Structure 1
Amino acid sequence: MVWPETKRDIKTFYRQMVLTHTFVLLLVLILSSSLVQGQLPVITPGIAKTADKTSDPDEPSDLKTEANRWTSFLGNHRNGISDETGLNLNWNVHKPAVLWRVPLGGGYSSMVIAEGRLWTMATHLTKDFVVCFDARSGKKLWTTEAAPTYIDHQKQASGPRSTPTYHAGKLYCLLPAGDLLCLNAKSGKVLWKVNIFQISGAPRQEEQTLYYWGMSASPLIEGDLVILQPGGNNNNSVIAINKDTGKLVWGAGNDPPGYGSPIVIDTLDQRQIIVPTGSSILSLNPAEGSLLWRIVWGNKYNCNCATPVWNDESLFISSAYGTGCMRFALFRQNEEIRPISQWKSLSLQNQFATSMINDGYIYGPHGDLAAVTYRCLDMQRGKIQWQTRRVGKCTQIAAEGHLICLTEQGTLILVEANPTEYREKGKLTGLLSFKAWAHPALANRRLYLRDEKRLICLDLQKK
């Protein structure tokens, strides 16, 4: 340090000393303050990195678009067809990578995806749970106990069968014994819970027959209503519940329950809820549940499992166990809506997978307890275009003119929707090993699959 020699230097010196002491005092105060210290960043030399946004499910604005969600059973439109583009659809050249794999309990519940989260249901030990994961990383975010584990009379399987429905920040989850939960989708908190057999007065099917495998139809949100199907013979086969309170609004029909999920259509200036019951296809007016039309459809097991498909102003339905398939149109006659069959055939019998319709052709698995083939039908006439045994019993969805088929053994097969021939674009084996009956889900160019033991995510981003 250089000492001052003149009066001017002395003044300058003391001024510098005061400033120095003031700076030191401020620095000590900053370092001793826990509030400020906790906000100080750790500085690491090097190139600045973009913040990793995959860890916060609330953040991604790109996931808020309809195409990047999968909000209910069979997707946003409940027909299994994704709106996504830019997908890798040539697996023979570019094999999709497995992004993550996590353990999961038993059940056949499929997945729904929104706001960067994924929800499904599974069984563990003696309880069935609703489970939430980060859709990008596979990190488990929460689990909510939903109901005691369900096992059917024939002990075919345990755990949930239906798929949650996501709507406006809430999850609607139906368990096999009729427990219906409304959850906060972000936290997993139960907002309300009812049992649809208790509030409707419909009898439990376990008391009616051995050939019953639990509530499997996924909830449908229509306006302020949740549409469900307990199955009853006193205007309580199908019911509507207020989605905010869980209170019963109306009941309709006198059929046993089916396993396929209801859909909603708009045609002939009439909004219609289409429900596959155990013995029919019902059309109901959403406002008050009044019957618009009904056709007899079913088999001795009351086992209608595939969901009806609305396409080109007509409905396509299909069931196994000797039932067959039918395409029919709807017409107004004397101010009433009537279904008119355009053709009926035994050529395609869906056991539990819903058929996909692409450019006027129908694709799906045919068969039940014996050998199962995969078939393509002409939608205009119902004629078989081709069939193959290379796929077999499977679930499926569709995207960009391709069928994504998951066999019950856990093999994933990509098939071009080509009416002239079976054209396989790739096959992935060994992804899953236990019974895989849950339908795939596709969101943000990621494919989600599950069996009774695990949940996996594949990258379908086009390379």
Structure 2
Amino acid sequence: MPSPEILFNWMYVFSSHAFQIRITCICLALIINPGLVIGQLPKVTPGGSKSNTIIPTEEPEEKATQSQQKGTWTSFLGNHRNGISDETGHNLNWNQHRPTVLWRVPLGGGFSSIVVAEGRIWTMATHLNNDYVVCFDAHTGKKLWSTLAAPTYLDRQRQARGPRSTPTYQAGKLYCLLPAGDLLCLDSASGKVTWRVNIFQISGAQRQEQKTIYYWGMSASPLIEGDLVILQPGGSKNNSVIAVNKNTGKLVWAAGSDSPGYGSPIVIEAEDQRQLIVPTGQSVLSLTPDKGDLLWRIVWGNKYNCNCATPIWNEDSLFISSAYGTGCMRFALTTQNEQIRPISRWKNLALQNQFATSIIKDGYIYGPHGDLATVTYRCLDMQRGKVQWISRRVGKCTQIAVQDHIICLTEQGTLILIEANPTEYREKGKLTGLLSFKAWAHPAIADKRLYIRDEKRLICIDLKQK
């Protein structure tokens, strides 16, 4: 009997069901006022986390140095978790210079994006009855190793099999979260498992798969903060968000009582306080990184507890967006009576991200709007939330940004290059026929190579300036 590793090399089985999400109820649009109401900003008493012995954390500056190395894309939405690349010198006129495909390789089901470092790329995919972490040479596409991670996952709506979250790379280690809560730390060079835990078991949180309000499995990508890995099992007993030691997998602290969301946590610096920003199924939380103490909480979401887009920090304010009638909001953080408080600058229904995170460039917000009906692509003014333009040429997509352009990957597998222009929709090129439905994983870019995937294949595209 061949081993799973050999089977993974021989063939790939893909699960892709042509479907549309079936929901029998029409979402009730939230009535959104210009400012926050009392119910949206409940009085917060900092503290109240469930904490074990605190593990000393690294200085943020030391962590940031490694993550910003040239030619890397180390986590979901890139090195800064905002979807924006720092690189320059790309081919950004595809109408004149059509990019070429450097290589393409078969890949199994799943929606994990790609991370890049050390001249290698990593992602996760399903094959037969198991989910794997897979490593390829970034230049040639040669598969270097695959590691069995967990039994394959099929969500309760039976939409698709395989992993949802994206691995996180740091200092020669990969941190990978599987849909049923299995968390693995792997050696990035060899694929050897350093440690393995299940976040439901160590936190005491109840698994969500059988609940009608939770559909698609653990999708939030791990966040590395100092010596901690931040995750969201979604427990209701002060164990919604947890931190584990990145070297051992042991629980360090747990906090919050919200259901899990699908968006990923980020870390920001505001009001002289380093803060973890965590989108849950019902809210957005701010926690202290070292102990998980609650700094503030705003109620945010919809009847499905479906907050999928990741919050974005833009110099002095946070932007959040959700679909199913929720809308979007920009809010600032300020200190009142020695406590940090979120203050709404504006909120409206003009931009509702379903699962793709918006891009903020030069004071304007770009992203797809809509969920079950027609999806449009929009540009909003960051200061006021006013719609600048609307286009139907993109539709449902994921996206990243490089220089002054946005690369959109539609769910049908078409790549569209858009100029980040607040005055009009300006398309700079389109590549069709590369991937197929459902291409839901966000693109990744490093060393002028663009990496995209669907449930069947992984492709590398040359974006060097000609």
Q: TM-score range by the shorter chain?
A: 0.7 to 0.9
Q: Which residue of 2 aligns with 1:48?
A: none
Q: Is residue 461 from structure 1 mapped to residue 453 from structure 2 by the alignment? A: no
Q: Which residue of 2 aligns with 1:431?
A: 434
Matching residue within 301, 319, 339 for 1:298: 301
Q: CA contact under 8 A between 1:331 and 1:337: conserved in structure 2?
A: yes
- Distance in 2, matches of 1:294 and 1:101, equals 44
- 1:360-396 Cα distance to aligned partner (Å, 9 max, x none): 0000000001000000000010010000110000000
- Distance in 1, matches of 2:190 and 2:316, equals 40
Q: Which residue of 2 aligns with 1:170?
A: 173
Matching residue within 142, 145, 149 for 1:146: 149
Q: Is residue 270 from structure 1 mapped to residue 270 from structure 2 by the alignment? A: no
- 1:403-448 Cα distance to aligned partner (Å, 9 max, x none): 0000000000000000000000000000101310000000000000
Distance 1:327 1:210, change over 3 A: closer
State the shift of 1:65 in Å.
Answer: 6.4
Matching residue within 72, 79, 82 for 1:79: 82
Q: Is residue 217 from structure 1 mapped to residue 220 from structure 2 by the alignment? A: yes
Distance 1:286 1:65, change over 3 A: closer
Q: Which residue of 2 aligns with 1:97?
A: 100
Which amino acid counterpart does residue 280 of structure 1 have in structure 2?
S
- Distance in 2, matches of 1:330 and 1:307, equals 18
Question: TM-score, length-normalised on structure 2?
Answer: 0.85
Q: Which residue of 1 aligns with 2:243?
A: 240
- 1:4-48 Cα distance to aligned partner (Å, 9 max, x none): xxxxxxxxxxxxxxxxxxxxxxxxxxxxxxxxxxxxxxxxxxxxx
Q: Which residue of 1 aligns with 2:409?
A: 406
- Distance in 2, matches of 1:433 and 1:196, equals 33
Q: CA contact under 8 A between 2:124 and 2:132: conserved in structure 1?
A: yes
Q: Which residue of 1 aligns with 2:262?
A: 259
- Distance in 2, matches of 1:116 and 1:65, equals 15
Q: Which residue of 2 aligns with 1:199?
A: 202
- 1:123-160 Cα distance to aligned partner (Å, 9 max, x none): 00000000000000000000000000000111011100
State the shift of 1:212 in Å.
Answer: 1.4
- Distance in 2, matches of 1:89 and 1:245, equals 43
- Distance in 1, matches of 2:331 and 2:447, equals 34
State the shift of 1:267 in Å.
Answer: 1.3
Is there any run of 5+ residues in structure 1 with no aligned partner, and where?
A: 1-62
Q: CA contact under 8 A between 2:68 and 2:79: conserved in structure 1?
A: no
Percent identity for Structure 1 against Structure 2:
80
Matching residue within 327, 331, 341 for 1:328: 331
Q: Which residue of 2 aligns with 1:392?
A: 395
- Distance in 2, matches of 1:267 and 1:154, equals 39
Per residue, is there more helix in 1 or in 2? 1
Q: CA contact under 8 A between 1:324 and 1:348: conserved in structure 2?
A: yes
- 1:39-70 Cα distance to aligned partner (Å, 9 max, x none): xxxxxxxxxxxxxxxxxxxxxxxx99623100
Within-5 A mapping of 1:28-43: none
Distance 1:210 1:302, change over 3 A: closer
Give the SS at the match of 2:342.
Answer: strand
Give the SS at the match of 2:399.
Answer: strand
Structure of greater Rg: 1
Distance 1:181 1:242, change over 3 A: same
Is there any run of 5+ residues in structure 2 with no aligned partner, and where?
A: 1-65
Q: CA contact under 8 A between 1:104 and 1:452: conserved in structure 2?
A: yes
Give the SS at the match of 2:353.
Answer: coil
Q: Which residue of 2 aligns with 1:188?
A: 191
- Distance in 1, matches of 2:391 and 2:276, equals 34
Q: CA contact under 8 A between 2:67 and 2:79: conserved in structure 1?
A: no
State the shift of 1:163 in Å.
Answer: 0.1
Q: Higher relative contact order at CA 8 Å, sep ≥6: structure 1 or structure 2?
A: 2
Question: TM-score, length-normalised on structure 1?
Answer: 0.86
Which amino acid counterpart does residue 195 of structure 2 have in structure 1?
W
Distance 1:346 1:414, change over 3 A: same
Q: CA contact under 8 A between 1:193 and 1:246: conserved in structure 2?
A: yes
- Distance in 1, matches of 2:214 and 2:331, equals 29
